[in-house]
Amino acid sequence: MAKYLTEEQIIAIIGEIKLPENFSTMSQDSYNEEMIAAKVQKLKSPPELLMASINMAIVGYGNQKYGNYRLGDDVVNLTKIFVSYNIKYNNPKASLLKEDDLTPQRLCRFFRHSIRRHILQTKSQTYLFRKYTDRNPDFAHICFRGAEYLEDLTIDQASFLLNATTNLDLRLGTNISERVVRVFEAKGTEFRRPVLVKL
């Protein structure tokens, strides 16, 4: 059985370590919203990025497929938009990003308020809402990719979103709900642990 040292015993062995006053921790999250906003503004705030974000949040994306959206009679390919605006897509899972790098996930996160507004105005239902929830209409507007970053989620809304991502994880073998929990904990968003239902 391992023997654990008390604090006094550890100090007796290594001494007391004083931290420099200018020490501070750094988040693993390299996303800097002010820098993202400045970059979007520098690109002249193209509506294509917002439309692409809304499409990804509602329709979904994955397996290196990002889809299309319709603009009048034209079909617009999201990958072409990504290339035009130097959006980093199809990145390896552990790739290092700069604070202002734009990615599909970061666009959904950045445009979260506009996505929610669009869902409310159009009464759209996202893939996450349709496939992975009990479809309670009270929560349709907060059930999308990037919604976990909304700063005004109620405990019921946060819990509903966490249930949805947990159901998605169970069905697809992913771990998105773990990231959602980390976001909620970092932001101080209250939530209840999932109550799994058969969908």
3 state SS of 15: coil
Residue 144: DSSP 8-state: S
So what's the pLDDT on residue 18? 85
So what's the pLDDT on residue 95? 82
3 state SS of 68: strand
So what's the pLDDT on residue 27? 55
So what's the pLDDT on residue 197? 57
So what's the pLDDT on residue 55? 96
List the beta strands (DSSP E) in 92-142.
none
CA–CA separation, 57 vs 30, rounded Å? 21
3-state secondary structure 26-44: CCCCCCCHHHHHHHHHHCC
Structure tokens at 110: 């950045």
Tens digit of each residue's pLDDT, the chain (199 residues): 557 788 888 889 888 888 788 876 555 567 899 999 999 999 998 899 999 999 999 999 988 899 999 999 999 999 999 999 999 998 887 788 999 999 999 999 999 999 999 999 999 999 999 999 999 999 999 999 999 999 999 999 999 999 999 999 999 999 999 999 999 999 999 999 986 656 5
